[in-house]
Amino acid sequence: MAEAVLGTRRVLTGSAGRAFRLDVVATGPSTTAEAGDSVARKAQQDERPIGPTGRPYQGFPTPPKLESHGPARIIALCNQKGGVGKTTTTINLAASLADYGRKVLAVDFDPQGALSAGLGVQTHDVTTIYDLLLEPKRDAHEAIVHTAVENLDIIPANIDLSAAEVHLVNEVAREMILARVLRGIANEYDVILIDCQPSLGILTVNALTAAHGVLIPLECEFFALRGVALLIETIDKVRDRLNPAIELDGLLATMYDSRTLHSREVLDRIVEAFGDRVLETVIGRTVKFPDASVSGVPITEFAPEHPAAQAYLRLARELVARGAVA
């Protein structure tokens, strides 16, 4: 079995000449460098198409239609490393799940407000997540904004949230405030995605305390694994002390560039370290994401046929297949 790059798609061709499409975004011109990579070697051994994580490639079925909605499973997208794709994944996974008929709430939990901007929601003079944290008696519905995407709502954030660390420090049960806020609205959604800020401070601990699951995006570059041990240690502590039910839903490799040996080596290392906890869906590197963010819409709306949009739809199907989402 040989591996080749055709256009923007990476394919494995079997001995019978059948082509298996992989939902990996390969950008730019094709190269022959991949022919000798470890993925192809593994594929040669067992004659089955192998995905970029080194496991046999499988499609995931279209999620069944839901007859009723809620209560939501809450998933925190977390990594204290900056710029790894937390916000991009929150936006596009949320839109993909909404596309499959799930009622989705995205919570912007980063004072940078990138999630709000990426979904085209204005953050000035509106009720934000910060207001709900500070006034727990306030009705959370006041902060919910419908986005241009059907089935997708958001609770926005702005720079005010940066004061939360200081304000919450003397609160009783300060780690549980977000959990209490979301309790009031969880029945109306199938899934709530929390876009965390790049730190392990009180806000992130609030997100982990509110969550049923954690999704860790990892950029496929040299320092990807740096800090992941500390993040997992933090999740373990939260499980011990605050939220016994929290699960690690998976690690998601992002910004993968199949043309570079570096990207492939880093992905191999991530799989070596975390095995099956690494999601099979891998998000490729493409300039379409910054383009879509500037337009304030998910890539599934901006360029629905683009392999990157297809990759996030596959991620949504994989999470449903794994039971992480209804």
Ligand X SMILES: Nc1ncnc2c1ncn2[C@@H]1O[C@H](COP(=O)(O)OP(=O)(O)OP(=O)(O)O)[C@@H](O)[C@H]1O
User: In the chain, how many H helices and how many E strands?
Assistant: 12, 10
Is 56 among the residues that bind ligand X (CB under 6 A)?
Answer: no
What's the closest the beta carbon of residue 291 comes to Mg ion, in angstroms?
A: 17
State the Cα–Cα distance between residues 86 and 194, nearest whole angstrom.
9
**Does residue 82 belong to the site contacting ligand X (CB under 6 A)?**
yes
The dihedral over CA atoms of 286, 292, 298, 303, expressed in degrees to the nearest 10, equals -70
Binding mask 169-208 for ligand X (x = CB under 6 A): -----------------------------x----------
Q: For residue 290, give Cα distances in angstroms to 29, 114, 175.
A: 20, 12, 33
Segment near ligand X (CB under 6 A); pick from 5-13, 31-39, 85-93, 145-153: 85-93
Query: Is residue 255 part of the contact set for ligand X (CB under 6 A)?
Result: yes
Q: How far is the CB of 137 from ligand X (least distance, A)?
A: 30
Helix (H, G, I), strand (E, B) or coil at 81: coil
Are 271 and 13 in contact by the 8 Å Cβ rule? The answer is no
Contact residue for ligand X among 123, 206, 254, 263 (CB under 6 A):
254
Choices 147-155, 222-230, 278-286, 296-304 (CB under 6 A): range interacting with ligand X: 278-286
Among 36, 83, 304, 323, binds ligand X (CB under 6 A): 83
Q: Is 87 a binder of ligand X (CB under 6 A)?
A: yes
Element (H, E) at 12: strand 9-13
Q: Does 64 bind ligand X (CB under 6 A)?
A: no
Q: In this chain, which residue has its C-beta nearest to Mg ion?
A: 87
Q: Give the residue from 191, 183, 223 showing the smallest Cα distance to 76.
A: 191
Residue 263 tokens read as: 């990207």
Q: Looking at the DSSP assignment, which residues form a beta bridge with residue 213?
A: 75, 247
CA–CA distance, 235 with 243 (Å, rounded to integer): 9
Site string for ligand X, 120-159 (x = CB under 6 A): ----------------------------------------
| Site for Mg ion contains 87 (CB under 5 A) | yes
Q: How far is the CB of 84 from Mg ion (least distance, A)?
A: 9
Using CB under 6 A, pick the residue from 53, 127, 209, 286 that binds ligand X.
Answer: 286
Q: Does 86 bind Mg ion (CB under 5 A)?
A: yes
Stretch that binds ligand X, among 34-42, 47-55, 60-68, 283-291 (CB under 6 A): 283-291
Near ligand X in 293-322, by CB under 6 A: 293
The interaxial angle of helices 288-295 and 86-99, nearest 10 deg, is 70
> Phi and psi of 4, rounded to 5°?
-145, 165
HEC per residue, 220-260 = CCCCCCCCHHHHHHHHHHHHHHCCCCCEEEEEEEECECCCC
81 binds Mg ion (CB under 5 A): no
- The site for ligand X (CB under 6 A) is made up of 82-88, 110, 114, 198, 254-255, 283, 285-286, 289-290, 293
